Structure 1
């Protein structure tokens, strides 16, 4: 079975429930947000889960949103499943004063 964005989203929701938010698919790439308290758990799950196998981090970057009060900084992870050739992105926001 081919790995689809719907399957990925379903697996993430089964594991983390409503902790994850803002699922969307700009240009076909599944994108979502995770709270900073669980970002490493999300990364580990995406890596370890047999169905998902996101073993390659394509990019890790930070973005500054000065007008987004309380969520001024974001860490953005771009991950790649090399077996199914699927890419996803997830963002973790934080307050600039609580980094």
Structure 2
């Protein structure tokens, strides 16, 4: 069991996908790169099934919202190669008006709950998910609370007026 370097992982990925991945970086030593929604299933399958890389453990799937960007919704995957003891982060940015991305449940059963949670908080539709529905919020909720689309506080609350705080 040997540890791969980030450079070896980048070489494997770029030789397999070329310009279909972009922006490789290493913030805090964690290899991070981006791909598109059209390529994410193929990239994840490669990372999991490659005989040298063996990213067999899906640590997390989450979302991020940047309302000022054209592709405002990001889907973030964290993978861990238990065999090589190395981690990688894969980012995919999609349209916030129609956020669809293929499901990772065919590769990892554990993606089921993670995708449901991400849908519940960000409204990201995971195409091919076996049971995509709210998991933590009430079913009647019409908004997605982690999106930055609403003011942080109710402007009508009287206990939050500046003069109460000496401002």
Normalising by structure 2, we get a TM-score of 0.57
Give the conservation status (yes or no) of the 8 Å contact 2:56–2:80: yes
Q: Deviations over 1:14-53 (max 9, x none)?
A: 0100110000000000000001101010000000001100
Q: Whose strand proportion is higher, 1 or 2?
A: 1
CA root-mean-square deviation? 1.0
Give the conservation status (yes or no) of the 8 Å contact 2:3–2:85: no
Report what 1:40 is aligned to: 41
Deviation for aligned residue 1:97:
2.1
Q: Which runs of 5+ in 2 are unaligned?
A: 100-167
Instruction: Answer 1 or 2: higher relative contact order, Cα 8 Å, separation at least 6.
Output: 1
Give the conservation status (yes or no) of the 8 Å contact 2:55–2:80: yes
Q: State the structure with more CA Rg.
A: 2
Once the two structures are superposed, the pairs formed by residues 41-80 of structure 1 within 5 Å of their partners are 41-69=42-70, 71-80=71-80
Q: Which runs of 5+ in 1 are unaligned?
A: none
Q: Count residues in correspondence.
A: 98
Report what 1:29 is aligned to: 30
Normalising by structure 1, we get a TM-score of 0.95
